[in-house]
A and B are shown apart, each in its own frame.
Chain A
Amino acid sequence: MKGFKQAFYLVLTLMMLSGCQQIVEVDLPPHEPQLVVNALMTAGKQARVVVSKSRGVTGRDTSFSWISDAEVQINVGGSPWEALAYIDSFETDSDGQTLFFPGYYSKKEVPFGDEIEINVTADLGEARSRMTIPPQLSATVDTFQLDVLRDASNLFQSLIRIKLENPPELSYYELIATLWYRIDGVDSLLKESMSFSSQLGFTPFDGNTSILLTNELLNGEVASVSLICFTPFRATTTVIRPQPDRLVLEIRTCSPEYYNYLTSYQEHIGSQVAGFSLFTTEPLPMYNNIEGGLGILAGYSTRFDTLMLQ
């Protein structure tokens, strides 16, 4: 029995030692940087192109990833349009926090309907891409109403009906809704992105704050789409009674590249968040239309519809 007691104590000691968690550092193969070109353009606004380079996930490399000495040339309809200039601008937001927006800016406003081509030359190589921004959606917002269901918990619900004059070709859209409201004692209007919920097969984007759809969903017919919007539910009874002022609906008519980029980005990022460990989930292919590099050239035309609320 003495032997067993000793064995028991030995096991107990080993068990206590075994409580240590084992985490080991692992080396990754070195990464060869690639040229990255990102340009999301809005018709009627200045073009902004950001050129950067990819880098390794790990390591202590502090080199700046933005590239400021590239040549960025845009052609429209096959003719030279503008060589973009690099602006290393800094801006400050309303809270005084510094945000920086470096990039290559055009002086002209981006057109729609013509093919836009971009050529980028940098030390890492050359990259190019092309796309066409479609015209604005000819749609009418048929019904636009807001029901306040739960003012105590800041839950709002709205029903939107949209009639799409359906073009014959496949078209892509993004809808974004914003609720503007007042709170007693606060002078300025506050804005809240609204979440979308629908039984139709829309692709919600970025936490449901916008949805992506194609006219294929409407089966080639002029149709009404019903949507329900919620402001984020807040589980508090701190008595804030928002008074809705207006609802702003932005309708973006997108290039296919924009639609593909957003949908694949959604899945790509979602997989990284949902994964057991960052970057070690199954890879979701990221849409890329930059020849000779990585990134996106895409754009949209946009229009706003506003409903004033009582």
Chain B
Amino acid sequence: MRRKWSCRQMVEGLFVCMWLLVGVQAFGQDLLRKEITLQAEKASLGEILEQVSQKSGLLISYSPADLPQESVSFPASTASIATHLDRILSPYRLSYKVIGKQVAIYKLPRLYTLSGYVIDGESGERLISAQVYDEHSKRGVFTNGFGFFSLDLPGDSISLVVAYTTYKSKQLKFFHKNNRQLSVELEPDFELDAVEIKAIEAEGPHKQVQMSLVSAPVSQLQALPVVLGEADVLKALGTFPGIQSAGEGSANLLVRGGSPDQNLILLDDAPIYFVSHLGGLFSVFNGSAVSDIQLVKGGFPAKYGGRLSSVIDVRTREGNMREITGEADISLIAARASIEGPIKKDRSSFFLSFRRSYFDIFSNTLTRLASDGNSAFGYHFYDLNAKVNFLLNENNRLHISMYLGDDRTNIGVDETFANQGELLTYQLGTKINWGNQLFSVRWNHLYSPKVFANLRLTLSNYRFEIKSDYFSRITEMEDTVSFKGVESYDSGISDLALQYDVNWYKNGRHTINLGINLTVHNFRPGLSSFNLTFQDSTERDTVFGASQLPGADLFLYYENEWKVSDRLTLRLGAHASSYTVQDTAFGSIQPRLSARYTIGKNWALKASFVRMMQFIHLLSSTDAGLPTDLWVPSTTRVPPQRSWQVAAGVAGRIKGGFEVSLEGYYKRMRGLIAYEEGANLLGDTQAWEDRVVTGGEGWAYGVEFLVQKKSGKTTGWLGYTLAWNQRKFSNLNEGKLFPFRYDRRHDLNLVVSHRFSEKIHLAANWTYGSGHALSLATGTYNSAFSEDGVVFPTGTFIRSDPLQNISLYEGGRNGFRMRAVHRLDASLSFDKKKKWGERSWILQVYNLYNRANPFFYFFDPDFDNPLADGTVPLTLKQFSLFPILPSVSYHVKF
């Protein structure tokens, strides 16, 4: 019988094949697996090797001069040939290699540690994830989050290549005979025809054990055309495979089938809980302030925890150590300015950046004019990034950074009017504010050239608040009735965290990362208060909802990046965490396993397995990133979310500097929560735990393809994702499996950036996504209460009246598909050098061919064309948010 394979089974099969491939390759040295028994009694090493040769039947070759003269004794033991050889040879700095059916013994050169920093030659800022690679020994390493590297290299001639995207690579040749510290300065690459010297060999995703990593130079992410010309590095990540936006105009990202709350977003190591401005049109990350952004969607390093789906690590600029520089720009929405420079040259620096929207200047004025001064509406957002860093000495460095950001809305009404002998006065003042405050202090300490440590203290606070005062007075003849009310709503979350991380570059084979973190959370899941006064007498003064809810989590992690052989590297780690809230404690140990097996010079197979646990939940009815979303802790009734994910793939580099990767993943999620159907977000007197359904399960799997070019005249990437994403809750959709709202089968992005000359730069982005899932009634029937019909005063009868009739969701929950989304965005930048610096005009067009992409669907009653029986027909329509949208912005740099 012919068996029909489902897509899920095919993806699972792919993983099995990948793992088998890695396994077979890794243990290909079958010759040395044979077990033999060895015993030595005051024997020379040569005699022992002879014994091995006789018992194994292998030919062992060596130079007698390399062997020590001393004699060795050990009792009889049985083990594989490889184990015996390792035990016998390693004390004498000897190693072996299998060549055909021979085993060659050779002497290892002495290793010395080369450590230091890779820094920007212009500004003195440290470069994260720069590659340091010795061509002779084929050993390499990436700089850590603070630009530090440590590499054990043989005492021999060295050909060191240091490379970083968008910087000129540097090659250093010297004889390495002592431990030494080295700071390598790289110059930014402004040349159009830059020759990528040696970088091809040094760079590429195949060089890292880390898989499922998304990274691109910030300058390229910033150049992507966006709505109204406000550059956004976070939203630009949505153009990579496996990552999609929660909707057009949303800053929330959904990674490998996860929901937005499953992303751990760090700004200078402090978690940030709400990343949207203006309903998601912009993220809170001011592009001028960001120096590096990376997104990990699988194979998570052990140091990360607390979320299921991704880690987005954003680092801000440290500030120029050598001279004062600045930049400023203005777009249709906001203006921003940044300044940076040394406090003391090459010892300390500062960075300061401020961005503010100015929509409120127009909206307040226009609404006042339109209402004869009776009402006003204003909205603005701002971001302030500030940072100072001090190089205390060669071994100590201190970074202090801060972020403040707010969205502020004000609505004011003050009206008095007469109506049928009554005089009515109505006053309303409403303020809706939300935003983040982050603060972090980080102290880097170098214990030795091999041990780098970072101690950090971070504070993160997110709060959403509404305050509304209203007053009404009605006067008729002698009677006056007045009514006054004050309502407020407050929610948020605060974190105070202390973490200590150590990177120990033990030797050429082992790099150990370990650390500990303690975080104290303070949840404020929605507190409402009402104070109503009638005729100067308080009628109701009520506070309800949950007030503050403290919690704490502690985690430890350990990870060993083990270079098993020249081809195989394993990263074996675990993340152990415990979480306490009220009287409840949860704990977990999460294995983190990754493997890389290189094939040739430019390719590598990669695989990973991770378990993750998430102790906090986001109550969101839309996933669109509304500030009303509530962060709540796990409790006995609402246990933590957990997942495991396996991923496998191949990564490499092809001619022309293209990086290529193909990955498959399978993610299983448990303990998911969702708002109870029909639950209200605001002002609900029910406890939040009563408003959620728990115990949800999720399945996400798919294949991702990426080809990316990071340097040269033309840069960009092509990403494609084929994915499935499903959910199951026992009390939703009658317990049946249903597609997740953001289940998208095909997702394709093409980003191209081309510099025609020093003055003109073009960037374009074409995106295509198949339709999201949607719950949509396709049928309707009369309820027991609508049997008599609904007769409106006009005599019209609305068929399918939502107030009376029952909707029939024939496809079940999310059983309908919206139309596909696609559009082309383009930007053209005109740059010119001036005496004082540089200026740029940037013209952008969003949705160039004016595609009507679905934002939401609605049923539109056609009152003007009733049917013969008097009923009003409904038509299903799609609302599109952004038509073709041009914008212009101006940028100066000095």
**Chain A residues packing against B (C-beta within 8 Å):** 4, 7-8, 10-11, 14-15, 17-18, 20-29, 31, 34, 36, 38-40, 50, 52-60, 62, 64-65, 97-103, 150, 152-153, 235-239, 261, 265, 267-274, 276-286, 294-296, 298
Contacts and interface: CB of A to CB of B under 8 A. Distances in A.
A58 B875 contact: yes
A24 B877 contact: yes
A235 B472 contact: yes
B787 A50 contact: yes
B41 interface: no
Contact of B778 (A4, A31, A269, A285): A31
A295 B784 CA distance: 8
Majority SS at the chain A contact face: mixed
B788 interface: yes
Given A26-B819, A99-B789, A269-B802, A54 B479 contact: no
Closest 6 A/B residue pairs (Cβ): A277-B858, A54-B781, A279-B777, A22-B880, A283-B809, A14-B886
Given A28-B778, A153-B481, A271-B677, A18 B885 contact: yes
Given A18-B884, A55-B780, 14 more contacts: A4-B830, A7-B843, A22-B879, A24-B852, A54-B808, A55-B781, A57-B876, A100-B788, A265-B783, A269-B802, A274-B680, A278-B858, A279-B800, A284-B678
A283 B781 contact: no
Contacts of A27: 876
A283 B812 contact: yes
Nearest to A93: B791
Contacts of A277: 856-859, 879
A148 to B, nearest CB: 15
B871 A284 contact: no
B278 interface: no
Contacts of B678: 267, 270-271, 274, 284
Interface in B822-868: 830, 841, 843, 845, 850, 852, 856-860, 867-868
Nearest to A97: B791
Nearest to B774: A280
Interface in B700-740: 733-734
B207 to A, nearest CB: 43
A26 B877 contact: yes
Interface of B: 422, 472, 474-476, 479, 481, 483, 534, 677-678, 680, 733-734, 774-785, 787-789, 791, 800, 802-804, 806-810, 812-813, 819, 830, 841, 843, 845, 850, 852, 856-860, 867-869, 871, 873-880, 883-888
Nearest to B847: A18
Contacts of B877: 23-26
Given A17-B884, A57-B777, A272 B782 contact: no
Contact of A36 (B776, B782, B804, B857): B782
Contact of B884 (A14, A56, A102): A14
A18 B332 CA distance: 15
B806 A286 contact: yes
Given A280-B774, A280-B776, A237 B781 contact: no
A38 B784 contact: yes
Q: Which of B779, B785, B802, B819 is the most central at the interface, judged by chain A CB atoms within 10 Å of its CB?
A: B779
Contact of A294 (B734, B781, B871, B874): B781
A11 B888 contact: yes
B878 A267 contact: no
Contacts of A15: 885-887
B783 A152 contact: no
A36 B775 CA distance: 22
Nearest to B228: A15
Q: Of A57, A276, A295, which is in contact with the most chain B CB atoms at under 10 Å from its CB?
A: A57
A138 B876 CA distance: 50
A62 B886 contact: no
Contacts of A270: 678
B534 A150 contact: yes
Contact of A14 (B845, B878, B880): B845
A100 B677 CA distance: 34
A276 B776 CA distance: 12
Nearest to B479: A237
A281 B791 contact: no
Contacts of B874: 57-58
Nearest to A150: B534
A36 B781 contact: yes
A11 B876 contact: no
B474 A235 contact: yes
Pick the most buried of B791, B804, B876: most chain A CB atoms within 10 A of its CB: B876
15 contacts: A18-B884, A21-B879, A24-B819, A39-B784, A56-B780, A99-B791, A153-B481, A235-B474, A237-B474, A261-B784, A265-B784, A270-B678, A272-B803, A273-B802, A283-B733
A100 B789 contact: yes
A99 B438 CA distance: 63
B41 to A, nearest CB: 79
A11 B843 contact: yes
Nearest to B676: A267
A285 to B, nearest CB: 6
Contact of A98 (B774, B782, B791): B791
Contacts of B819: 24, 26
B803 A283 contact: no
A211 B776 CA distance: 30
Contacts of B472: 235
B481 A267 contact: no
A17 B848 CA distance: 12
B843 A52 contact: no
B781 A34 contact: yes
B479 A22 contact: no
Contact of A24 (B778, B841, B880): B880
A147 B604 CA distance: 81
Contact of B886 (A11, A271, A273, A280): A11
A237 B422 contact: yes
A4 B841 contact: yes
Nearest to A206: B785
B736 to A, nearest CB: 11
A43 B819 CA distance: 51
A285 B677 CA distance: 9
B775 A268 contact: no
A276 B856 contact: yes
A57 B850 CA distance: 29
Contacts of A152: 479, 481
Nearest to B811: A29
A207 B50 CA distance: 94
A54 B791 contact: no
A58 B859 contact: yes
A152 B477 CA distance: 14
Nearest to A14: B886
A54 B779 contact: yes
A274 B676 CA distance: 14
Given A27-B876, A57-B874, A237 B476 contact: yes
A280 B632 CA distance: 27
A294 B783 contact: no
A15 B846 CA distance: 11
A62 B868 contact: yes
Contacts of A24: 819, 852, 877-878, 880
Nearest to B853: A22
Contacts of B873: 58-60
A10 to B, nearest CB: 8
A153 B479 CA distance: 11
A62 B474 CA distance: 48
Contact of B867 (A25, A60, A98): A60
B788 A38 contact: no
A21 B881 CA distance: 8
B779 A55 contact: yes
Nearest to A95: B793
A206 to B, nearest CB: 8
Contact of B879 (A23, A40, A65, A268): A23
B852 A22 contact: yes
Contacts of B734: 285
A38 B802 contact: no
